[in-house]
Structure 1
Amino acid sequence: MKVVHQRRTRWLEGQRTMLYQDLRAFLTVLKESGELVDVTRHIALQYDIAKALAKTSAVQGPALMFKNTGTAFPLVAGLYGTRKRALIAFGATEQTIHDKVLQGINNQIAPVDFEGTPPCQEIVLTGDAIDVTKLPVPVYSPKDGGPYITAGIVVSENPETGIPDIGNYRFQIHGPKEMGLFSASNHRFGKNIAYATAVGKELHGAVVIGVDPMTMFSCQVQSSDTTNDWFVAGGLRGAPVELAEAVSNGLKVPARAEIIIEFTVDTKNQKMEGPLGEYTGYYTPASPKPVARITAITHRKDAIFQGLLTGKPITENHVLKQIPFETSILRQLQAQFPTISDISINSSGGVQVYVVIAMKPRYEGEPRQAILAAMASNLHPKWVIVVDPDIDIRNAAEVEWAQSFRVKPREDVFVVDRTAAGPLDPSTDGGFSSSVGIDATKPFGVEFPDVSEVPGWRDFDLPEINRG
């Protein structure tokens, strides 16, 4: 038994083995570990699903499988609503997670074609049979413009190079065969739409719902426009992604997905899309946006729909982004600053605005250079703080302590004007923002007082203290 336990521990701590073949394998593990609970009573799609998700999120509770949605499909949500479940998905610990993700990103694996009829096409709906309103798509927030698909992965290709992109984007249900879509202009899906429109090409896409965790997380990895995201997903999985050709276009989609919605993008006949409670915690206003015209819906015979709560931090949306964002930005920064040991991109800042970096400066002024590099990343953060490695960057009290007693504000705090901003940030003016850098490391080359911390207290056993 001890040998089996040791093997299990080593596997969890970072072996490059495919952890989950599909969504269902992950659901089985979550259920066995008490991290997924069935809800058998009817829960209304309008607002009540969101209330249940907000409640379990607030108490770090389990993911929820809603069995009675008023449709033919169950709905699962909250799968990545806690850091604990994210680590289960990766088969990692807090100590091994960054190395695990870096290993996957640095050792990418090409996809393979699925042999035979793929599970995602057990049921094929085309023509008059198409009706996306039959799916259990929730309305999450009271002022949302309608039901939104929030956990969908969009597959599209660069019209010029054919390089595939997968990313997590929102879709508002307009009717049985129409959805409103939004992609920021700096995101690859948005760039593909803009390029196709400019050259007069029709852009095809597919919304993929219900995939294995590593394919879901790979959508959040920050990479270049020339990256084939199926290779990244394969690297994170430790095994190739199995792909099948979509039934109404030439795109390749995950063969073991639960549901695929194939579409073409119509940029000429735009419709009002929004509002939606977004990752910033604020509603984005409604505006005319392109329409996704559905050309086919395919799914497994007993398909499971997946939802994802977004809105005021911290929600599942933020937890899903955090690990891939942190690791991919850490990878970029360490290439220039090798003494950076860790990075925290806070969920409370939408996993974009507030960044804390731990590093050991090699020369005076290096923390400022690292701050500027972080500001220039795709995150466009407003706040970047650099601290010494002895600071726990995920402990707000320790970061505040470093800011309080290792900073000379006039020398160590600076503002960079007219920096790029997140497109949904409600405080931006004209698309520009400004960013604050704080060097909260000890003065370089200067003797600094020792920290007055009691040694060994964490391991001291004192049963008389009530731990409850």
Structure 2
Amino acid sequence: MWQLAFTKLEFRQVLAWLRSKGELVEVDQDSFISDLKRYDGQRCVLERGEGEVRRVGNAIISREELIELLNLRSVMDLHHKVTWAIRNPSPLHEAAQSASEEVSENGVSFLNVPDFQGKRYVTAGVFIASDGKRLNSSFHRMLYLGNDKFAVRVVPRHLYRMLEEARQRREKLDVAVVIGGPLEFLIASSSSPPFGVFELEVANSLSGGSIAYKRSPEHGIPYPADSEILLEGYIDPEELAPEGPFFDVLRTFDTVRAQPVFTVEKAYHRKEALFHVIWPGGVEHQMLMGLPKEAKIREAVENVVPEVNDVYLTPGGGTWVHAAISISKQRDGDPKNVIMAAFGAHPSLKHVIVVDEDVDVRDPASLEWALATRFRADRGLVVIPSASGSTLDPSAGADGETAKVGVDATAPIRERDRFKRADAS
């Protein structure tokens, strides 16, 4: 279904494409972080210079450009492509060699780890963990502690489970960290497929089977060949360090927690490597976190109603905790089923609004109009108390417990004429 015109999009190929469109700007090293924020959602930012490793950020600046890069026609196509790849991971083939290992380093001193308000963080590291039976790939921010060690923020998902199992075995967990992998790998590593499905194989399906892997020199962990930077080492579940405070996708400060420590044993990179940096809470952060969740929500909603027009995680909710969904309903009870399906598909959701097909979910004024004219709290409000939500939400409890709200802002089927928007033209 999704096999035409797909090729692996190496990280540097994405940058070359952005440069060709006039959407890449080179900036001075001293202003890199401030320029990353300044050009958020507008331009890719590359550190000026001829150094061996240069920092770059804002590689994904909009949904539209991501759709164009992946040779798709619409957001719906993107959603369907991601869910198809999760259901159909593709076996990998091994590369004869990898440019990722062109340069070998002793430690991480070659990395100019960015300073975010007094704390040095790697924000675009993708951890590939191996316990000898399973492989898992996921994004995790890394606070640099010095001496080739990082405190890693690990939320209770797949890497957390692997660490807990390693703790019970009294073993360290071998990991390889990729910075600047292929675009499909970045998307797949944000997609949270079922535990045991390897995200690199999901990425291979996204690319039409064009991603090759190489095994890391120290621990033999498969990683996407020709990535920009590769760090190899281990996480000791018993070694903890304070991590945070740090601002995340909701642009509020996450609290300080004792988190596991990643120790780097070996480091490698391409010649003239690109050090990917994600601006926390920026458009690139929101796209990578949110778009795969939109795809999961769409899939769940399509299982309960026949026609889904659009699914949108809104930027005001960090593209994470607020969803707006447009459907063509056939029964007045459909929106409530949609609300429950959405909460089940993405447990971090806090608020969901369901609207009719004539409402643009990407237009805040259109959503507000639907609230003003089609929502009645006595019949369209769904409140779910004491539910598990996002730990990033500062109003939630320490374990993410919160109350969730669903809003049915659709017109009653038998009274649709009364709710039509007037056309003043």
Fold shared per TM-score above 0.5: yes
Contact 1:73 1:302 (C-alpha < 8 Å) held by counterparts: yes
- The equivalent of 1:155 in structure 2 is 128
223-232 vs 88-97, greater mean Cα deviation: 88-97
- Find the partner of 2:10 among 16, 22, 25: 22
Call closer, same or farther: CA 1:445–1:223 in 2, change over 3 Å: farther
Cα deviation, 1:345-387, whole Å, max 9, x if unaligned, reads 1122122211111112232322112212212233421111111
Q: Write out aligned runs for 1:43-442 (5 A).
A: 43-44=29-30, 48-57=31-40, 60-68=41-49, 72-94=52-74, 96-115=77-96, 117-125=97-105, 129-130=106-107, 132-140=108-116, 142=117, 144=118, 146-157=119-130, 159=131, 162-185=133-156, 187-311=157-281, 314-431=282-399, 432-442=401-411
CA contact (8 A) 2:136 2:158 kept: yes
| Superposed CA offset, 1:376-421 (max 9, x none) | 2334211111111221111111111111111121111121101112
Higher strand share: 2
The CA deviation at 1:103 is 4.8
Q: Which amino acid is 2:350 matched to?
A: K
1:404 to 1:347, Cα distance in 2 relative to 1, 3 A: same
Q: C-alpha displacement at 1:29, in angstroms? A: 1.1
Identify unmatched segments of 5+ residues in structure 2.
none
Equivalent in the alignment of 1:448: 417
Q: TM-score, length-normalised on structure 1? A: 0.84
Native 8 Å contact 1:139 1:147 kept in 2: yes
How high is the sequence identity, in percent, across the aligned residues? 23
CA distance in 2, matches of 1:381, 1:101: 19
Q: Runs of at least 4 residues of structure 1 off by over 6 A?
A: none
Q: 1:340·1:358 contact (CA, 8 Å) conserved in 2?
A: yes
- In the alignment, residue 171 of structure 1 is paired with which amino acid? M
Question: How many Å separate the matches in 1 of 2:53 and 2:168?
Answer: 39
Aligned to 1:134, the other structure's residue is in SS state coil
Using a 3 Å threshold, how does the CA distance of structure 1 residues 360 and 239 change in structure 2: closer, same or farther? same
Does the residue aligned with 2:291 lie in a helix, a strand or coil?
A: helix
Once the two structures are TM-superposed, the CA of residue 62 in structure 1 deviates from its matched residue by 1.3
Conserved 8 A contact 1:402-1:440: yes
Conserved? CA contact 2:8–2:211, under 8 Å = no
Q: 1:235 to 1:86 in 2, by over 3 A?
A: same
Using the TM superposition, name which of 371-380 and 293-302 deviates more. Answer: 371-380
Residue type of the alignment partner of 2:126 = I
Q: Which amino acid aligns with 2:11?
A: L
Whether the 8 Å CA contact 1:163–1:226 is kept in 2: the answer is yes
Q: Distance in 2 between matches of 1:110 and 1:348?
A: 38
Residue 171 of structure 2 contacts residue 236 of structure 2 at CA under 8 Å; is this kept in 1? Answer: no
Note the C-alpha offset of 1:15: 6.1
Give 1:137 shift: 1.5
CA drift at 1:433? 0.1
Q: Distance in 1 between matches of 2:346 and 2:291?
A: 15
Report how far residue 180 of structure 1 moved. Answer: 0.9
Q: For 1:337 and 1:452, locate their aligned partners in 2 and report how far apart those are by CA, in whole Å.
A: 24
> Structure 2 vs 1, CA of residues 387 and 310 (structure 1 numbering), >3 Å: closer, same or farther?
same
d(CA) in 2 for partners of 1:388, 1:447? 10
Tell me, in whole angstroms, the C-alpha distance in 1 between the residues paired with 2:62 and 2:36.
12
Deviation at 1:301, TM superposition (A): 2.2
CA distance in 2, matches of 1:394, 1:255: 37
Q: Tell me the matched-pair count.
A: 422
SS in 2 for 1:363: coil
Q: TM-score, normalised by structure 2?
A: 0.92
SS in 2 for 1:336: coil
Q: Find the aligned partners of 2:254 and 2:289 in 1 and give their Cα distance.
A: 19
Alignment check: 8 A CA contact 1:207 1:261 kept:
yes
Task: Label 1:407 to 1:378 Cα distance change in 2 as closer, same or farther (>3 A).
Answer: closer
Over 3 Å counting, the alpha-carbon distance change for 1:452 and 1:442 in structure 2 is closer
How far, CA to CA, are the matches of 1:155 and 1:176 in structure 2? 21
Kindly state the Cα deviation for residue 147 of structure 1 after the two structures are TM-superposed: 1.0
Find the aligned partners of 1:181 and 1:395 in 2 and give their Cα distance. Answer: 37
